[in-house]
Structure 1
Amino acid sequence: MKAMIRTGILAALMAIVSPGHAQTSATHTSAATPAHKPVAAKTDVSDRTLVKSLPGFRNGYATVNGVRLHYVVGGKGEPLVLLPGWPETWWTFHKIMPALAGHYTVIVVDLRGMGASSKPADGYDKKTMAADIHELTQSLGYDKVTIAGHDIGSAVAFAYAENYPDATDKLVMMEFPHPDDSLQTLPLLPAQGAYGDRLGSARPNLWWFAFNQVRGLPEQLLAGRARLEQDWLFHYFLVNENAVDARDRAVYARAYESAAAIRAGNAWYQAFPQDVIDNREYGQLQMPVLVMGGPAYKWMKMVVGQRAVNISAVDIENSGHFIQEEQPELVTKTMLGFLQGAGG
């Protein structure tokens, strides 16, 4: 009888301290995701642990432009800044960082709202985010850097080059241009028979561009469940799904599991209308620019080519959207060839 009373009291306390705990646990142990929970539960995916797997790199933090940014730095030589995209973190570059660090001081930054960086209420337009990075590089003692980005990070890198041309040596953009007026012409619905669960050669239906515009609801739906959305995106966008493995997915799920992280990541998309307005005021880029793309190659080449005087464009074949994870050797070789003079 006493045991039953103790059990009842414990259950009541658990309900008070962690309402919904039982529901969350049931969700993560459902038949749909049995293989994922052991990895997430047993694998330490903290930045401290992850950076130990990359000899010569270390974590750093800086408060600039009103935000606290987390970055990972290593290597030697001239500065090369890498900016990640959605729904990932600095870890997206872990396969190419060691090789690049043999030639450059590599600085990989979690953007405003990403990973261990702070998540303020505003400032997610790419011009402001570029100012974050500029103040960071200045605080690290660099007057001029080469800047590279993937996805949202690519748009921020472009904004950096436009707003700080004298502080930009070369620009590398991967899989996403800076938002321009063409984004406002994207169709809401796909063509008949053109939509599936894998991208293939069809034009993507970018439904998350619209979903991420909604304020408040995505956080309620995805807090603690970001892995569901991420797994769908990786399945859709990867040619080889194993290129983003179980540990990688645990890293990204942890980074976006909170309501604050989801809100901040969505804010990058909610700022697109302002980015489009800013883009109208931008001029021609004079520094060497490298564009690399998988599914977005033709789009990137066309849009960036309208702004860049000196552009090199490379189609990363046999890859989906996450080219630095799916084809790291080719991406590294292409970047090094460009940075060491082939593109300039």
Structure 2
Amino acid sequence: MPLFPGFSEVDIETEGVRVHARVGGSGEPLLLLHGYPQTHAMWHPIAAELARTYTVVAADLRGYGESVAHEKDFTFRAMARDQVRLMEQLGHKQFHVVSHDRGARTAHRMVLDHPASVKSLVLLDILPTVEVWRLMDAWLARKYYHWTFLAHPSDMPQRLLNSEPLTYLRATLAGLGGLNIFAPEAMAEYERAAQKPSVVEAWCGDYLAGATTDLDHDRADVGSISDIPCLVLWGDKGVVGKQVNPLETWRQWFANVSGHALDTGHFLVEEKPEEVLEAVRQHLAAATAG
């Protein structure tokens, strides 16, 4: 069974990258951005429904999935630029963004660097990058061990992961949500991607940038508050809401923020697709009407 029935595939060459995406539907443009260690396949539970009323673009981040990085810049600034250029080449100068995990961090940077491009934003199960590092105590370090492991400034993580990519992938997915929540077709895509050394390189480059250059970029923008509509959802069984109030935290970046927890772990879309879909639809309808 295809994960994205009726969608077409596109590959767009832009600055330092070839971005792979699936495109379907009609209506206002809507960009879907996945997280680590997944691909655009994570959106399969809701993409077809969203495509009934929106032009949906589900893209792979730089170096992830089928996107190919021609250069080694894995900052969120570069990833955000990639996606803006993708949408521009598809004819969309302004669009909504629904995003999860590293894709949500990319989307946050997109709003900061390309504010005219983003009409509204959905952030799934993250806190701002600067806040995560501020909160990094012994408890969080055990939950988010990959933040420091993948950011090691050598090829050690890549060499280890490339020797047992599926063991690492499955352990990561199980630790963040459990393996039984993933459709076999989606899991096959995640496994196929994880076995590419270039994807492992992107994971490590992404997290190294997240511990260094991305932090500098975000710290420079502390105090920059956007007024676009922003919906924040997080998993009540996960990490995001355990130390701080996510809405109050995100209000320091988005004045017009709303949201709530769902009865899930980290992978909201694959655990509770109907609830995510309903919340996203309501948010998009209000943002479009406004």
Asked if TM exceeds 0.5, the reply is yes
Give the drift of 1:342. Answer: 7.2
Task: Give CA deviations for 1:122-169 in whole Å, capped at 9, x if unaligned.
Answer: 221111211111111111111110012100000001111111111111
- Cα pair 1:227 1:249 within 8 Å, conserved: no
Letter in 1 for 2:279: T
Give the drift of 1:204. Answer: 5.7
1:204/1:310 CA distance change after superposition, 3 Å: farther
Letter in 2 for 1:207: Y
User: What is the 5 A alignment of 1:180-259?
Assistant: 180=130, 182-187=132-137, 189-190=138-139, 205-214=143-152, 215-223=154-162, 225-238=164-177, 241-259=179-197
User: What is the 5 A alignment of 1:284-323?
Assistant: 284-294=225-235, 295=238, 296-297=240-241, 298=244, 300-317=246-263, 319-323=264-268
- Cα pair 2:16 2:69 within 8 Å, conserved: no
Pair 1:105-2:51 in alignment:
no
> Scaled by the length of structure 1, what TM-score is found?
0.76
1:137/1:259 CA distance change after superposition, 3 Å: same
Structure 1 distance, partners of 2:25, 2:142, is 37
1:227/1:186 CA distance change after superposition, 3 Å: same
User: What is the 5 A alignment of 1:154-173?
Assistant: 154-173=104-123
> What residue number does 2:206 align with?
268
Within the candidate set 319, 322, 334, 2:279 is matched to 334
Give the drift of 1:182. Answer: 4.4
Structure 1 distance, partners of 2:248, 2:175, is 24
Identity of aligned residues (%): 28
1:55/1:211 CA distance change after superposition, 3 Å: same
Letter in 2 for 1:180: V
Within the candidate set 128, 147, 172, 2:78 is matched to 128
Give the drift of 1:249. Answer: 2.3
Give the drift of 1:181. Answer: 5.2
Letter in 2 for 1:255: A
SS at match of 2:116: helix
Give the drift of 1:55. Answer: 2.1
What CA RMSD, in Å, does the superposition of the two structures yield over aligned residues?
2.0
Give the drift of 1:53. Answer: 4.1
SS at match of 1:88: coil
Structure 1 distance, partners of 2:202, 2:70, is 8
> What residue number does 1:63 align with?
13
The more displaced of 112-121 and 144-153 is: 112-121
Structure 1 distance, partners of 2:198, 2:216, is 27
Unaligned runs of 5+ in 1: 1-49, 191-201
Structure 2 distance, partners of 1:254, 1:178, is 30
Structure 2 distance, partners of 1:241, 1:142, is 36
Structure 2 distance, partners of 1:204, 1:307, is 27
> What residue number does 1:324 align with?
269
SS at match of 1:147: strand
SS at match of 2:12: strand
- Cα pair 1:173 1:292 within 8 Å, conserved: yes
Unaligned runs of 5+ in 2: none
1:181/1:120 CA distance change after superposition, 3 Å: farther
1:204/1:217 CA distance change after superposition, 3 Å: closer
Q: Which has the higher contact order (CA 8 A, sep 6+)?
A: 2
Structure 2 distance, partners of 1:207, 1:120, is 28
> Scaled by the length of structure 2, what TM-score is found?
0.90
SS at match of 1:340: helix
1:141/1:342 CA distance change after superposition, 3 Å: closer
> What residue number does 1:119 align with?
69
